[in-house]
A and B are shown apart, each in its own frame.
Chain A
Amino acid sequence: MRRVLRDNGIGLVFGGLFLLMLVGQAVAGQAQYNDQQAAYGAEAVSLLQYVTSSTFAVDVVENWQSEYLQFFLYIFLTVWLVQRGSGESKDIEKAGLESDEDQKVGAHARADSPAWARLTDWRGALFSRSLGIVMGTIFVLSWLAQSVAGWAAYNSEQLGNREDPVTWLGYLTEPDFWNRTLQNWQSEMLAVGSMAVLGVYLRQRGSPESKPVGAAHADTGETG
């Protein structure tokens, strides 16, 4: 049991933190929502009513979509983009899809390689891109969910303000949709870009996200 916990520490701890923080967001969001309700002379909502509302849904998925966009772009663009000296980058000369030998695919697959890594047909091509495809798909679906939940929350606000509701396509042209989207995107780009550059000069002993403490600033693609 202890070994299972140790061997899956990252997934378990981040999964647990995700749930705790989601509950915290729900409680804080309900309090804020009810403050607004009181200001308008409207009745307070229960936690269950709040977590099933479009207001909570859009606040959740607008963050999901930007996180998955960040990781999708990072996974995809770092195939070709490199950062000299960064532990987040591969070696400069490895920019691109790399050789079959480097990637251990097809005839270069090892005995313990995943079965589809040996295949040279569509299955091999699909498996070779599966991480980016799945992350990109989750991003698109999350963004779509944001647009739908945001549309519902926006129309509820419109009616509360004595204004007409808008269509879904109309909502996609509203500042509300793009403000929610871009305020999340910009922060993700800042975080991932700064991490790649700061990793050239700064170290975190023992972290695989950092170069070894004693590695030279010019060393690229090392992790410690």
Chain B
Amino acid sequence: MRAFILGATVAMLAGCAATERPDVERVATDFATGDPTARCALLAPATLAAAERDGPCVAAVGTSLSSGGQVLQTSVWGDEAQVRLAGDTLFLTRTGGGWKVAAAGCTPNGDLPYACRLEGP
């Protein structure tokens, strides 16, 4: 019984990640290659609110974030994901409207969380 649960847990984790990966990568690529309007449409609600705090969203995503870039590595765990692109690292979260970008313009920061130019709370 417990062996079944263990096997089912591992299969569920692997299966979920594999199922979600194409959607995650598509959203990340669309965000990286999209114009500012398209990028704003791909932001998670809390991140969109943060982007609009000091002005229109298109200004926030249009000037400070690099564009383009091929997907180098994708990690999906539950409702959260990380996509490393050639020119950026994105963090995504699953919402009722599908996968959305929670943070962009992220760079490693030692043992601390990534430093992101655009992110929600």
Instruction: List the interface of chain A (C-beta within 8 A of B).
Output: 39-43, 45, 52-55, 57, 61, 64, 137-138, 141-142, 144-145, 148-149, 152-153, 155-165
Contact = CB atoms under 8 A, between A and B. Distances in A.
A223 B95 CA distance: 58
B91 to A, nearest CB: 6
Contacts, number: 83
A162 B6 contact: no
A163 B113 contact: yes
Given A41-B45, A41-B120, A42-B93, A149 B78 contact: no
A40 B50 CA distance: 12
B6 A141 contact: yes
Contacts of B46: 40-42
30 contacts: A40-B46, A40-B120, A41-B49, A41-B120, A41-B121, A42-B44, A42-B93, A42-B95, A45-B79, A54-B9, A55-B78, A141-B2, A141-B5, A141-B6, A144-B6, A145-B2, A145-B5, A145-B6, A152-B78, A156-B79, A156-B80, A159-B91, A160-B93, A162-B113, A162-B116, A163-B114, A164-B82, A165-B75, A165-B77, A165-B82
Given A41-B49, A42-B93, A54-B13, A162 B114 contact: yes
Nearest to A165: B75
| 8 nearest A-B residue pairs (beta carbon) | A41-B46, A156-B78, A159-B80, A155-B77, A141-B2, A162-B113, A156-B77, A162-B114
A175 B116 CA distance: 26
Contacts of A158: 77
Nearest to B75: A165
A43 B80 CA distance: 12
Nearest to A40: B121
Nearest to B81: A159
A137 to B, nearest CB: 8
Contacts of B9: 54, 57, 145, 148-149
B85 to A, nearest CB: 15
A42 B93 CA distance: 8
Interface in B44-94: 44-46, 49, 75, 77-82, 91, 93
Nearest to A154: B77
B103 interface: yes
Given A40-B121, A41-B120, A52 B77 contact: no
A52 B79 CA distance: 12
B38 interface: no
B13 A159 contact: no
Pick from B3, B45, B77, B121 the residue with the most CB of A within 10 Å: B77
Given A41-B44, A43-B95, A45-B79, 14 more contacts: A40-B121, A41-B46, A41-B120, A42-B79, A42-B93, A52-B12, A54-B13, A64-B2, A137-B2, A141-B5, A145-B9, A159-B75, A159-B77, A160-B102
